[in-house]
Amino acid sequence: MMLGLFWSEVIVWEISKLSILTLKDLVTTIAAKLQQSLSEGNELYGRKSNRVYPCKIVKVLESKADKTLYEVVWLGKDKKITGNAVISGDDLVRKLPFTRAVLKSFIRESTYRSVPWVLHENLARKHGISTNPPEVLRSKIFLQDGHIVCNRKRRKTEDDKQSTDDGNNDDLREHKQKRLRGEKSEALNTLNADKEDDKLKGKPIKYPIEDLLVEAAADDPIFTERPSPSRDFNVPMDCVGDLLMVWDFCTSFSRLLHLCPFSLEDFENALCHKGSNSILIVESLSALLRLLIKDNGDYFLAIQKKKRKSKITVITWTEYLCDFLEMVGFVELSTCITTIKRGHYGLLDICAKLGIFRELVNQALAADIVREKLDKYIEERQALAATRREVALEEGRKKREEKERLKVESDGNGMVKGHGAEVVGTSSSEPVNHNHSRQNGHVAEKQNEKSLSSGQKHPSRNSGNNHVSVTLKNIKQQKVDVKVVLENDSSENGVRKQLKDENNEAIEKRSKAQRKDYLEREMEKRFIRTSPFGKDKYHNRYWFFRRDERIFVESSDSTEWGYYSAKDELDALMGSLNTKGERERALKKQLGKYYTNICSELQKRSKEAAYRSAMEDSLLRRSNRVRAPPRENPALAFLKYVNKWKED
């Protein structure tokens, strides 16, 4: 969707041509192909006198000694020719127009099956590529209704031969050897056939497997019915993809564009507005045009030829937009120039408006400013990811140390208890004497108490004993009081220590959680590319964009879109996914990973909708004697947009 036409044709051709390679090998092959595909008119950089200068290929000469020679002209300021030379391909500095990650994503989006890679039928028809499998696979597979079908006859004869010679273990060993030799397609087809054979023989199947091969079983959980997504878009269905792409780019790179973010609903309503030019659309187009001017590329040279100023205003923005459309030269967009010059941009068709935005975003993605920003974001995200890994490793190390410490303490306590019991049993003299003295003391105290009671009856005779007994009683009471105080102090200190430990532990946990949240937020700020959560069994893709609360569903051929906007719909969707399938298992895992964030966004959207409806009902119920203020239509909220980040 964001790749140029020439590059996409090369990639699509290579996918269909090298369909049995792994994703990594396929990306490497395509990257080498793109770097080697130099033709007349390509502008790049060449080495001259140990320095790099911009140049343009004029003619491709014959190859000599396995090296292709190119006749180039050196370009100076304003692309003026300063000289010419003949250099080899090694002296040309070539760079891919996009990263390998983007290339991998493009391959995944262009195919519905891997190893062998199979293009979507509409994409193959668009580029005129045959859907017949390569020569290597024609004896094993064929396409029927756009799906791969294995040649069962050949497989059956091979199984008969193998069953007479080898057992099941030999089959598995042969599969591993085939994978090691790189025969991916044959191993995959054989493995699928083995799964079907095992099913017939009653052997257990190892899940997950291909989603379309999953069948209902008795041990399956009760799946909920998958809800139908809403499709009430204001733009035509074939324009929803461009709408999401343009809005996602403008909001994700809002700081770079100096464009204050806006909601998807406001952007959609502004595009459908037929009245006067809305500020939201004018500021968005002007921000993209300013970015292209700063890049000093083809658009900058085009406005320099017309001697226009570099500052775009609310009055002159249509002139700069027409210059861009003339530079691009697309026929379907060139017909809009007359209407725009007359000041009737709002009367254009929605598809034409989104087509203009799409080309502006494609030009912006190819700009050096955006690429430098993306490279910077990639480096920062890698540093943040490394920090997050270090934090996780440190937490794991602390947990292991704590577990080992508790284990050592428990072992030590057991050893001390056993040692104490042994001392009591072996050394009998001291403990016995100690117990004997305790018993004698207890008896003496009782005798003193008796003497004290007898002294009350005979005070004259036992006056001395009475004094002694009172003294002993006071001493005993003092001992008890001291003991209670010491016990209270020790228990209070223990409680304080326990509370202090709990507080420290809570603070530490809170700081860890805050640090994790901080790292996640910082990584989200370094936006690189929005990717789908995954696919379901029918290859429908599921998207969740930042700054929007909905989950979007894209059909496998990208012709239909829908969305879920409620928590109940999300729960029903997750309950309908069968984890025995590869795609739905991965999709459910991703949805579960971001379930809390998605639910909070969906609940926020539901609360706002309920609040708006409650306000409308309250205004309707108000008395006729009180003049109610005019209600604001949410569909016209885009008219109040103000670009607070606009450059002076």
553: nearest Cα among 599, 591, 513: 591
Cα–Cα distance, 267 to 564 (Å, whole number) = 19
The pLDDT of 289-313, averaged and rounded, is 89
Query: In this predicted structure, what is the pLDDT of residue 410?
Result: 83
Beta-ladder partners of 197: none
Is the pLDDT score of 104 beyond 50?
Answer: yes
Using an 8 Å Cβ cutoff, are 254 and 645 in contact? yes
Report pLDDT digits (tens) over 473-522: 555 555 555 455 455 555 556 656 666 666 666 666 667 777 777 887 78
Is residue 320 scored above 90 in pLDDT?
yes
Alpha helices in 60-204 (DSSP H): 100-110, 121-126, 152-165, 168-181, 184-201
C-beta separation of 67 from 56 below 8 A: no
H or E stretch including 375? helix 368-426
Confidence (pLDDT) at 8: 54
Mean per-residue pLDDT over the chain, rounded: 75
Distance CA 76, CA 81 (A): 6
pLDDT exceeds cutoff 60 at 417: no
Identify the pLDDT of residue 12: 56
Q: How much is the pLDDT for 463? A: 45
How far apart are alpha carbons 548 and 124 in whole angstroms? 33
Can you tell me the mean pLDDT for 306-332? 89
The whole-number pLDDT of residue 431 equals 43
* pLDDT value, residue 174: 59
pLDDT digits (tens, 9 = 90+) for 11-58: 655 555 546 677 777 777 777 776 666 777 778 888 887 778 888 888
pLDDT value at residue 330: 85
Model confidence band, residue 421 (pLDDT cutoffs 50, 70, 90): very low
Nearest to 573 by CA among 603, 552, 549, 558: 552
Q: What is the pLDDT of residues 197-227, one digit of tens each?
A: 555 455 678 889 989 888 888 888 899 999 9
pLDDT tens, position by position, 163-182: 444 445 555 555 555 555 55
b (16+ CB within 10 A) / e for 378-398: eeebeebeeebeeeeeeeeee
pLDDT value of residue 287: 95
pLDDT of residue 38: 74
CA atoms of 632 and 134, how far apart (whole Å): 61
Angle in degrees, 0-180, between the axes of helices 279-294 and 368-426, rounded to the nearest 10: 90
Contact between 134 and 146 (Cβ < 8 Å): no
Predicted pLDDT of residue 185: 54
Q: Is the pLDDT of residue 436 over 50?
A: no
What's residue 623's pLDDT? 47
Q: Report the pLDDT value the prediction gives residue 175, as an integer from 0 to 100.
A: 53
Report the pLDDT value the prediction gives residue 44, as an integer from 0 to 100. Answer: 80
Q: What pLDDT score does 375 carry?
A: 86
Q: How many residues does the chain have?
A: 648
- Give residue 646's pLDDT: 87
Lowest mean pLDDT among 104-118, 261-275, 391-405, 451-465: 451-465
Phi, psi (deg, nearest 5) at residue 551? -105, 120
Q: At what angle do helices 350-365 and 317-328 cross, to 10 degrees?
A: 80
- For residue 445, give every residue at least 6 positions away whose Cβ sits within 8 Å of its Cβ, in sequence order, or none: 472, 476
Region for 52 from its dihedrals, namely left if φ exceeds 0, alpha if ψ lies in -120 to 50, beta otherwise: beta
Task: Report which of 550, 560, 555 is spatially closest to residue 535, judged by C-alpha positions.
Answer: 555
Instruction: Report which of residues 464 and 31 the model is more confident about.
Output: 31
**pLDDT of residue 161 exceeding 90:** no
DSSP code at position 558: S
Specify the pairing of strand 141-144 against strand 118-119.
unpaired
* Per-residue model confidence (pLDDT) at position 92: 81
The whole-angstrom separation of Cα 291 and Cα 369 is 8
Look at residue 412 in the predicted model and tell me its pLDDT: 73
